[in-house]
Amino acid sequence: MKYSKTFVELNKAIHDRATFDCGSVELNTFLQKHAFRHMKVGVSKTMVLPALEILSNQKYPICSFYTVAPSSIQREILPQNLSKSLPHYPVPVFLIAQLAVNTKVQRQQLGKATLIKALEFLWQVNQQMCAYAVVVDCINGPVEKFYQKYGFLYLYKNQGKTRMFLPMKTLGQLFGDRKTFIRTQIITAPP
Ligand SMILES: CC(C)(COP(=O)(O)OP(=O)(O)OC[C@H]1O[C@@H](n2cnc3c(N)ncnc32)[C@H](O)[C@@H]1OP(=O)(O)O)[C@@H](O)C(=O)NCCC(=O)NCCS
């Protein structure tokens, strides 16, 4: 399964949601039934990486996707060294609500590339409207390890999921001064 080089906004007339399988029913169902509708009503944005081949229904399979949305957290849940300088009202954050890779192309560094693209997207949004951090809710231990690998820190467990966060300052270090490094060293995914 060869994929295009660019993430684009999910378009149900162009992208084949039905054939997407990442191994998680929850995430498959989200992409197939909710992602487009949520974008239409303006609560989140879903970006997909289409495959290069076209199906008989004239749509492109989806190799990976991410969904982001604005959110907020209570300052008290942050480590004290971080929370002490924050205001006493909900702290704005960006949520990576969903992120998944098609099983056909898992373990080929596409999850990493998709995460970097999601973070880069949020970093760009942050230039216009600030958030304190990026948060994600991990559905299981291995996924937690995946995010940990890229600097996400533990916040708390809730209803079987682990909430993790990455301060926006860290993204600044990645995409601010060292943008060229990130582009060439990390985002490049195998064809
Ligand atoms: C989690 C997921 C996004 C990873 O995507 P992937 O393309 O398989 O991962 P990559 O090939 O980019 O792996 C990047 C690194 O993470 C590690 N990693 C990937 N999946 C892992 C797992 N399940 N457990 C532990 N480590 C994992 C890899 O070993 C790799 O490390 P390396 O660079 O040292 O070799 C993908 O498995 C997936 O979509 N899973 C189902 C949906 C899901 O759980 N999404 C997360 C929602 S919170």
For ligand 1, is residue 161 a contact (CB within 6 Å)? Answer: no
CA distance 153 to 149: 10
| Cβ contact 91:78 at 8 Å | yes
What's the whole-number mean pLDDT along residues 159-172?
94
User: Is the pLDDT confidence value at 163 over 50?
Assistant: yes
The verdict on the CB of residue 28 being under 6 Å from ligand 1 is: no
Query: Is 142 within the bounds of a domain?
Result: yes
Is residue 67 assigned to a domain? yes
pLDDT the model gives residue 190: 47
For residue 30, report the phi and psi dihedrals to the nearest 5 degrees.
Answer: -60, -50
Q: What is the pLDDT of residues 94-132, one digit of tens each?
A: 999 999 999 999 999 999 999 999 999 999 999 999 999
Name the residue range of residue 127's domain.
8-187
Cβ-based neighbour number of residue 33 at 10 Å? 11
Mean pLDDT of 20-25: 96
Q: Which residue is closest in CA terms to ligand 1's atom 25?
A: 142
Does residue 24 have a pLDDT over 50? yes
Amino acid at 51: A
pLDDT, tens digit, 9 for 90 and up, residues 28-57: 999 999 999 999 999 999 999 999 999 999
Task: Tell me the CATH number at 137.
Answer: 3.40.630.30
For residue 125 the two structure tokens come to: 């949004």
101 lines ligand 1 (CB under 6 A): yes
Let me know if residue 157 belongs to a domain. yes
3: DSSP letter: B
How many whole angstroms from 80 Cα to the centroid of ligand 1? 30
**How far is 63 from 88, CA to CA, in rounded Å?**
41
Tally of structural domains, the chain: 1
pTM of the model: 0.91
150 an active-site residue? no
For residue 23, give the ligand 1 atom closest to its CA.
41
Q: Which two tokens stand for residue 80?
A: 């004290």
Structural domain includes residue 81: yes
Does 2 map to a domain? no
CB 96 less than 6 A from any atom of ligand 1: no
| 1 domain-assigned | no
What lies within 8 Å, CB to CB, of 178 at 6+ separation is none
Q: Any residues with CB less than 8 A from the CB of 171 and at least 6 apart, and which?
A: 119, 122, 123, 126, 134
The verdict on residue 3 lying in a domain is no
Q: At residue 120, what are phi and psi to the nearest 5 degrees? A: -65, -40
Counting atoms of ligand 1 from 1, which one is nearest the CA of 112?
A: 12
- Which one is catalytic: 132, 147, 150, 156? 147
Q: Whose CA is nearest to atom 28 of ligand 1?
A: 107
How many C-beta neighbours within 10 Å does residue 35 have?
25
